[in-house]
């Protein structure tokens, strides 16, 4: 038996008036996914439990069968692991976004506005140059900055594991005043001082001068958040009898793969946005199956990034890319092997365009089993409305994995 999970990150949404009160999933041409839905199962799952912030950390843990209320210890430790850093129990990791702030005529950093949580999707190569400069100014014996993927960088602090911080994610703060959302809690003044000083260091950085000349948003500030300690996850290979790669451009997802006992190969051209190399990701998945692996976790971030940017047309287009550039070729490959297979297609969480950030509302899912193909029912589709109508709902979303992997309790 082969298994495939496809994560269309943040693709689930709310009804949009300009789309005739439909969602992007309802108006997108999802011929291949809906073919599977019509012959399989649909339903909904709450991947983010009540009381947990609706982040990709909690949601992807849930999709893989881990209760976030038990196993979530913070976002950044997952990312730190993905870039090859082995944390110990006496360290605290933070995500350090490279963002774009706008002085908007003000002189004080707290009066600046947060315009772009990803600095215009800055490249990993550009970001590495900027983090090198940041490290030269801020690194000490107990605090070090590390380059990640794209705008997603890391800060590791030795000698502490306290979590007494509140640091809001910048994708929740677009077009808001910095001073209204500064970090709070013990020692938070140190973090905020990094953020303020980073603007003076980065506003005239050579990388940013070149980006501005090209009409791109500069990475002119750090935004530090997502703190956490090293997690301990039960080995998923032992739990479900599966083995294979986590395929993603996002360090957070690779880190979940690392701690769960899965591989997380690099994919050339994987960017974490709508311009990612879908074909190379598919090729890497097929390579894994050909090598004898029986599982692939295919994570696609583009739909989420389009939502954060408020780009409805791009989000719909990215949903369609996932349908015919990922799901179609992988389904065709699995059929060609002659082996039995199961496919799960699910967003990790919703990212409604109206709020440009994540929500905890349930997400739709499709499960297709090659052994149990049903008579086509065109009312079964991959969207929020059809999922709700199905009345097949997992309130504890992490339990969906037990069903998908056919775990015998």
Report pLDDT digits (tens) over 49-61.
Answer: 999 999 999 999 9
Alpha carbon distance 57, 348 (integer Å):
9
Alpha carbon distance 157, 32 (integer Å):
46
For the chain, give every domain's residue range.
2-72+231-404, 94-228
Top CATH class of 2-72+231-404 equals: alpha beta
Alpha carbon distance 8, 10 (integer Å):
6
In this structure, what token pair is assigned to residue 284? 């890497």
Confidence at residue 185, expressed as pLDDT on a 0 to 100 scale: 86
Confidence at residue 409, expressed as pLDDT on a 0 to 100 scale: 52
- Read off φ and ψ for residue 111, nearest 5 degrees: -95, 0
Alpha carbon distance 290, 330 (integer Å):
12
The runs of H, that is alpha helices, within 46-187 are 56-63, 68-71, 76-82, 124-138
Q: Which residues pair with 44 in a beta bridge?
A: 364, 393
DSSP tag of 371 = T
Confidence at residue 160, expressed as pLDDT on a 0 to 100 scale: 73
Q: Which residues of 163-186 are buried (b: 16+ CB within 10 A; e: fewer)?
A: eebebbbbbbbbeeebeebbbeee
Confidence at residue 366, expressed as pLDDT on a 0 to 100 scale: 98
Judge contact between 97 and 223, C-beta under 8 A. Answer: yes
| CA quadruple 284, 404, 32, 292: dihedral, nearest 10 | 30
Q: Which of 3, 1, 2, 28 is nearest to 13 (CA)?
A: 28
Alpha carbon distance 164, 189 (integer Å):
12
Confidence at residue 407, expressed as pLDDT on a 0 to 100 scale: 86
Confidence at residue 164, expressed as pLDDT on a 0 to 100 scale: 77
The number of helices, as runs of H, and strands, as runs of E, in the chain is: 16, 17
Residues of the chain whose pLDDT is less than 50? none
- Cβ neighbours for 83, distance < 8 A, ≥ 6 positions apart: 146, 147, 148, 149, 154, 251
pLDDT tens digits for 292-318?
999 999 999 999 999 999 999 999 999
Alpha carbon distance 9, 374 (integer Å):
27
Confidence at residue 31, expressed as pLDDT on a 0 to 100 scale: 98
Confidence at residue 408, expressed as pLDDT on a 0 to 100 scale: 64
Confidence at residue 244, expressed as pLDDT on a 0 to 100 scale: 98
- Read off φ and ψ for residue 41, nearest 5 degrees: -120, 145
Q: Which residues pair with 332 in a beta bridge?
A: none
Confidence at residue 216, expressed as pLDDT on a 0 to 100 scale: 98
How far is residue 140 from each of residues 90, 196, 263, 292, measured CA to CA in Å?
Answer: 16, 18, 32, 45
The CA-based angle 276-339-34, given to 5 degrees, is 50
What average pLDDT does the structure give for the chain?
95
Write down the pTM of the prediction: 0.89
- Read off φ and ψ for residue 275, nearest 5 degrees: -95, 15
Confidence at residue 186, expressed as pLDDT on a 0 to 100 scale: 80
Integer-rounded Cα radius of gyration of the chain = 21
Alpha carbon distance 245, 251 (integer Å):
14
């Amino acid at each position: 038996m082969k298994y495939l999970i496809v994560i269309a990150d943040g693709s689930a949404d709310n009804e949009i008036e300009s789309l005739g009160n439909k969602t992007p999933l309802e108006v997108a041409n999802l011929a291949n996914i809906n073919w599977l839905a019509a012959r399989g199962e649909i339903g909904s799952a709450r991947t983010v439990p009540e009381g947990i912030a609706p982040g990709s950390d909690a949601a992807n843990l849930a999709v893989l069968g881990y209760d976030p209320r038990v196993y979530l210890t913070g976002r950044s430790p997952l990312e730190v692991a993905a870039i090859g850093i082995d944390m110990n129990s006496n360290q605290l990791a933070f995500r350090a976004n490279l963002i774009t702030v706008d002085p908007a005529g003000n002189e004080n950093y707290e009066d600046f506005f947060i315009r772009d949580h990803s600095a215009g999707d800055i490249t990993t190569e550009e970001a590495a140059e900027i983090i090198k400069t940041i490290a030269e100014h801020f690194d000490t014996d107990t605090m070090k900055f590390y380059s990640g993927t794209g705008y997603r960088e890391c800060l590791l602090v030795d000698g502490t594991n306290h979590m007494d911080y509140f640091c809001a994610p910048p994708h929740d703060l677009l077009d808001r005043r910095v001073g209204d959302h500064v970090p709070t809690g013990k020692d938070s003044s140190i973090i905020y001082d990094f953020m303020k000083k980073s603007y003076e260091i980065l506003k005239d950085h050579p990388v940013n001068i070149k980006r501005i000349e090209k009409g791109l948003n500069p990475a002119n500030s750090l935004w530090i958040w997502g703190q956490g300690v090293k997690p301990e996850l039960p080995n998923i290979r032992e739990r479900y009898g599966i083995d294979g790669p986590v395929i993603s451009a996002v360090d957070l997802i690779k880190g979940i793969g690392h701690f769960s006992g899965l591989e997380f190969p690099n994919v050339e051209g994987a960017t974490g946005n709508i311009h990612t190399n879908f074909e190379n990701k598919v090729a890497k998945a097929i390579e894994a199956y050909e090598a004898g692996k029986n599982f692939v976790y295919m994570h696609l971030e583009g739909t989420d990034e389009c939502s954060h940017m408020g780009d409805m047309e791009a989000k719909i287009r990215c949903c369609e890319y996932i349908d015919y550039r990922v799901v179609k070729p992988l389904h065709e490959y699995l059929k060609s092997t002659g082996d039995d297979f199961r496919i799960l297609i699910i967003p990790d969480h919703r990212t409604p365009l109206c709020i440009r950030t994540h929500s905890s509302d349930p997400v739709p899912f499709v499960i297709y089993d090659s052994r149990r193909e049903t008579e086509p029912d065109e009312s079964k589709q991959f969207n929020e409305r059809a999922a709700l109508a199905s009345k097949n709902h997992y309130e504890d979303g992490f339990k969906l994995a037990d069903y998908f992997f056919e775990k015998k309790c």
